[in-house]
Amino acid sequence: MKKYLYFRIPMFVRILSAFILGIGLGYFLFLNSEAKWCPSVINIISPFGNVLVAMLKMIVIPIIFFSLVDGASNLPIKKFGKLGGGVILWYFCTSLFAAVFGCFLAMWVNPTMDISTAKEALESQLSQISQMRAGGSGSASFGDFFVSLFVNPFEALANGMFLPIIIFAILFGIACRVVADKNSENSAAIDTLLTVIKAILNACFRIIDWILEYFPIGVFALTTVNFAKYGTDLFGPYIRIIAGVGLGVLLMLIVIYPLLIYVCTQVNPYKILWKIREPVLTAFITRSSAATLPVSFQVATKEFRIKNELSSFSLPLGATINMDGVCIHLPIFAILAANIFGLPLTSLTLFGLVVSIVFASVGAGGIPGGSVFLLFMVLGNMGLDESQTMLVAALALGINPILDMLETACNVAGDNVCNYIIAKRNNMFE
């Protein structure tokens, strides 16, 4: 029985316990950093955390690519027409707003950390940042940025060029749907291809399940090593990050969404938000937009009496591509990384950051911890190299479960708000 007790403990409890234990052990090692045995202990623990980061980097590109192809190919372009286009446009606009809002909030919170020792260790790898600075003030332009989005997809996949991967995956998925709808000769072949892609995606989700089982061990190792190196200097950034994300989510829930509901429907927005409290709370606990779908369907049917033909499209699509909470969360770590490594926040950098976050959020997949995978992409698009990205990711992994609860609640609230507003404006009630 003891062998299976570990797996019967809720994942959130395991990760939170690992985080707290890591803080305790790490701070103990920090206080004894001059002891001869301390470096040996850190060297023994460190690989267990690096393995978690490596596993996440291994799965991030396949999960984003196949989830985007699957999601884009499921868009019922001919069937829904204006209605479906309105749902997609709404999700895109709210994600764009959340990304811009998140960037402003992140710059106001301005999380930073003094890790001069880490900078010295990475000094030989800072040339990429220097080149980006030179390019930012020279010939780089918005036109150059857009051209860089369209790259040989095989080259992009091999080199981990995330934005070109996202662009190609979305175009490929939509093209598959268009061919299947318009060309009866190829419909069967396309349907088979999409079935294979969905099967591959499910296999990737299974790998993620295995990685999540290792999460507590990796989080414990990463937290221990970080606190052993930097001690109490980490508390400031952690508190600022949690407070910043929490404030952003709270403002979305009690100000932005109510304002959108009132402007678009002229009804009391807080009555609507009260009716969707169950899916929001479920999302907060489960940390999964996909797992919350049954509750969202129940509310749409029983509380609002929204027609199933709308809910069956907008809610699953929202669980896949509408990640307003992620768009608030990711800029905080992006600004933290910029402050740590001295990356100048030019208008081009911020524009690229917003575009990167909006497109990246589409690939979160509605699974617990999905934003962790996107962090590698966003930081990579900012110009950080592998070692720098791993350092920031290691800082993020420790508190990710807490942030994930907040952002998932925001994501699901956005899905249900969109479903209600589109139904109200198009009279889609039973």
Per the domain annotation, does 1 fall within a domain?
Answer: no
Per the domain annotation, does 430 fall within a domain?
Answer: no
Per the domain annotation, does 405 fall within a domain?
Answer: yes
Which token pair is 50?
């690096």
Q: How many CA atoms lie within 13 A of 365 on its CB side?
A: 25
With 90 as the cut, is the pLDDT of residue 417 above it? yes
Question: Domain containing 132: what range?
Answer: 9-425
* Residue 326 or 383, more confident: 326
* Residue 181 or 41, more confident: 41
Q: What integer best gives the mean pLDDT of the chain?
A: 77
In the chain, % of residues over pLDDT 90? 10
Q: How confident is the model at residue 214 (pLDDT cuts 50, 70, 90)?
A: confident
Residues 399-406, mean pLDDT to the nearest whole number: 77
Per the domain annotation, does 4 fall within a domain?
Answer: no
Across 74-83, 247-256, 315-324, 415-424, least confident range: 74-83
With 50 as the cut, is the pLDDT of residue 128 above it? no
Task: Please give the backbone phi and psi of residue 429, each rounded to the nearest 5 degrees, phi first.
Answer: -110, 150
Cα–Cα distance measured from residue 51 to residue 72, given in angstroms and rounded to the nearest whole number: 32
∠ CA 156-61-149, rounded to 5°: 35
Work out how many domains the chain is built from and give that number: 1
Q: How confident is the model at residue 97 (pLDDT cuts 50, 70, 90)?
A: very high
Q: How confident is the model at residue 263 (pLDDT cuts 50, 70, 90)?
A: very high
Across 52-56, 94-98, 298-302, 341-345, least confident range: 52-56
pLDDT of residue 381: 76
Residue type, 314: S
Per the domain annotation, does 359 fall within a domain?
Answer: yes
Which tens digit of pLDDT belongs to each residue from 288-308? 776 677 788 888 888 888 887
Residues 386-398, mean pLDDT to the nearest whole number: 72
With 70 as the cut, is the pLDDT of residue 126 above it? no
Q: What is the DSSP string of 168-200?
A: HHHHHHHHHHHHHHH-HHHHHHHHHHHHHHHHH
Per the domain annotation, does 2 fall within a domain?
Answer: no
pLDDT of residue 127: 41
Which tens digit of pLDDT belongs to each residue from 29-75? 888 878 888 888 888 888 888 787 777 777 767 877 887 787 677 66
| pTM metric for this prediction | 0.67
Q: How confident is the model at residue 343 (pLDDT cuts 50, 70, 90)?
A: confident
Q: Tokens 């489960």 appear where?
A: 286
Per the domain annotation, does 394 fall within a domain?
Answer: yes
Per the domain annotation, does 128 fall within a domain?
Answer: yes
Looking up residue 322, the CATH number of its domain turns out to be 1.10.3860
Q: How confident is the model at residue 363 (pLDDT cuts 50, 70, 90)?
A: low
Taking the C-alpha atoms of 147, 388, 58 and 224 in order, what is their torsion angle to the nearest 10 degrees?
-160
Q: How confident is the model at residue 181 (pLDDT cuts 50, 70, 90)?
A: confident
Q: How confident is the model at residue 115 (pLDDT cuts 50, 70, 90)?
A: low
